[in-house]
Amino acid sequence: MQELNASWVALKSGGFIVLPLSVLAVVALAIMLEKAVLYWRFARLSSDVLNLVETYGFAWSDLEKILSGVSHRHYFKRFFDVVISNRHHPSWWTESRAADEAQLIEASLARRLWVLETIVTAAPLLGLVGTVLGMMDAFQIIGSSGVVNPTGVTGGVAQALVATVIGLLIALIALFGFNYFSRLQSQTMDEMERLGTRLIDHIRLDQEGRPHEAP
């Protein structure tokens, strides 16, 4: 309890700049939580689908059966459905439609990541504003008093330090979140491209009437 009270006092000493910093912190945490749920529910590929596609010789009906139980919001299902629905067209047509869908999926995965990137830059700058304001208050007390008010001076310095520390902490958390989810996005798109190539190969073999054999 004493630790919470001490933390609250420290936050109050940071001045009004703590309010926008708190808003940035809430926004960053909300985006990271949303991304975590999104990747967990709609971007994980089941081993059944992965193993089936990797065999090369699978039946399209088997793939459709597995995908029928997957949410329509799942990114891999969206991608596979485009390939499946266009598999009777020339392979170049199917590949083009799959590439278009992959671009839409990539844009969806990248949504709001720019906000995290902005917070990485904005939070330390806001903390710096708090630092400057706190130091200005401290120097104003020194300049306006015949006798220096130690409490007022240290209060201004505390405001400066608290705002700086909060801004840096928020920036660090947002930076780790941005890098982590950017890497997840890259891995997801690489996996989608790899499996898409498998499906296009399957279509080409079907159209050429050749046996399906893994290389």
| Higher-pLDDT residue of 150, 68 | 68
Distance CA 178, CA 140 (A): 40
Contacts of 106 (CB under 8 A, 6+ apart): 185, 189
pLDDT at 136: 64
pLDDT band at residue 162 using 50, 70 and 90 as cut-offs: confident
Query: CA-CA-CA-CA torsion for 107, 112, 118, 122, nearest 10 degrees?
Result: 180
pLDDT band at residue 91 using 50, 70 and 90 as cut-offs: confident
Distance CA 101, CA 171 (A): 33
Distance CA 122, CA 200 (A): 44
Which residue in the block uniquely carries the two structure tokens 């120097």?
139
State the average pLDDT for the chain.
83
Distance CA 16, CA 170 (A): 16
Which one, of 67, 32, 53, lies nearest residue 193 by Cα? 53
8 A C-beta contact, residue 138 and residue 153 = yes
Beta-strand (E) ranges in the chain?
Answer: none
**Averaged over 125-137, what is the pLDDT?**
77
Distance CA 37, CA 34 (A): 5
